[in-house]
Amino acid sequence: MRVCWSVLGLSLLYISAECLLPPSKEELQQISENGEKYLDKEIENAINGVKEMKTVMEKSDQNHKKFLSSLEETKIQKEEALKAAQEMEEKLDEEQRVCNDSMQALWEECKPCLKNTCIKFYSRTCSSGSGLVGRQLEQVLNRTSPISIWINGQNIDTLEKEDQQQSQHFQDLEKRYGEVADGVDSIFMDSMKVFDHMRSFHQPNIFVGPYRMPSIFSQPARVYRSPFQDPEFHGFHNMFQPMMQMARNIFGSFEPYMGSDMDLTNEDGAVNEDVIMTKPFGDDKMTCREIRRNSAGCIKLRGECEKCREIQHIDCSGKKPLEGPLKEELEQALARAERFTQEYNKILKHFEEEMFNTSKLLDMFNKQFGWVSSLANHTKSDDGIFKIQAIISKSSEDSEKPADTKVSVRLFDEPEMSFTVPGDIPWNDPKFSEITAKEALERYKQNTVVA
């Protein structure tokens, strides 16, 4: 009986020792190779994801070209109209120069009447906002000459200023767009380097699924800089967030001319926005909101003030500048310039919003697949992309719970990393290699890839 118990004890000791024994060198190699198969699939999937990311950018580039064509056509029409308006205003100014003093004196008497008349008509119909309209109109009148022509709150000076703002905003937007395009190209090109390396490292039939090496490598060489190398890179979407704020600032910078859409309840109480005023605006119909936004429209009330009417009919050495064809031509040119200015703003804003939304999609692809591009300089080793250096079974304090396994691995040419695999998955379990490779890859992403 004593001999039987001794044999049983030796058997249990042997089994326990077997559980703690690490795998042989050959077994380590086999586990590493199985882990590489998992990584191969992940890399291939990520490369296909980067390809889709590139496709999104290519479609965006097609839209970009259409926007550029529309912007250029609108810009030419706008500049031609502005040039014509400038020429007409210079001729008009030349005709009234001989009686400038008389005209300016009348204008100074005209302005207070014009302001009071506008406020009177506005407050008679609209329940609030007359104080704001008065202040805005006073600012407009102080910047207006007796012969200034205003169309929808814009004259030549404001249109020229807005033209400069638009040009600067377009240049800034194009710069950001170029940075995004170059960033996507960089991620794509680096991913293709990984693709090329993996295909040459493995057998020829590896990585021959639905994806093929693109013809881009036959194109002229171009220098790309990976966005991951830029410490200030925090995603494509973040590139356009300050641009959207800048656009709001630009489009809102003409509020002194166009009025404001601010909430007026603090100053004048509730606002009846939908009341329509027709008289004395002629055929034009303007709501209270529109008048507040475009207080320069009050200049149409010049016919209600005697001194303002005198300016319209003043005789300058036999000529009446504000009754001749020059004034009509100036109004027509100014109306065209204002219309094309607004059209340009509309196209520019539409393109900006599209790129803002596209950048969200690019960030989604980059977050999920962009990590593969960072392997471009990390896949040069001929020893394989994944190697388990050691597997050590840790002792368990709980006799009923299997001991965890500590592993040390090398992924690509990164420094060795160590972590623990739960004891319920022993090293000889087929899942062990995949779990180990997956954990190593996740740690690599966290330590290497820009979020």
The per-residue DSSP string of 335-394 comes to: HHHHHHHHHHHHHHHHHHHHHHHHHHHHHHHHHHHGGGGGGGGS---TT-SEEEEEEEEP
Contact present, 109 and 307 (Cβ < 8 Å): yes
> Residue 47 in 3-state DSSP?
helix
Output the average pLDDT for the chain: 74
Residue 396 has pLDDT above 70, yes or no: no
Helix axes 156-201, 236-251, angle to 10 degrees: 170
Identify the pLDDT of residue 450: 52
Helix, strand, coil percentages in the chain from 3-state DSSP, rounded to 5: 70, 5, 25
Identify the pLDDT of residue 328: 81
Which residue is it, tokens 């320069």? 296
Output DSSP code: residue 154.
Answer: B
pTM of the complete model beyond 0.85: no
Q: Which residues contact 319 (CB under 8 A, 6 or more apart)?
A: 95
Mean pLDDT lowest among 78-82, 136-140, 302-306: 136-140
Mean pLDDT lowest among 201-210, 295-304, 344-353, 390-399: 201-210
Span 143-193, pLDDT tens digits: 777 766 666 667 788 888 899 999 999 999 899 899 889 989 999 999 998
Span 290-312, pLDDT tens digits: 666 666 667 777 788 888 888 77
Mean pLDDT lowest among 102-116, 160-174, 235-249, 355-369: 235-249
CA angle 189, 195, 197 (to 5 degrees): 105
Confidence band of 84 (pLDDT split at 50, 70, 90): very high
Span 422-439, pLDDT tens digits: 988 888 888 999 999 999
Between CA 17 and CA 5 the distance in angstroms is: 18
Parallel, antiparallel or unpaired: strands 405-411 and 417-421: antiparallel
Q: Which residues contact 352 (CB under 8 A, 6 or more apart)?
A: 173, 240, 243, 244, 247
Between CA 278 and CA 286 the distance in angstroms is: 7
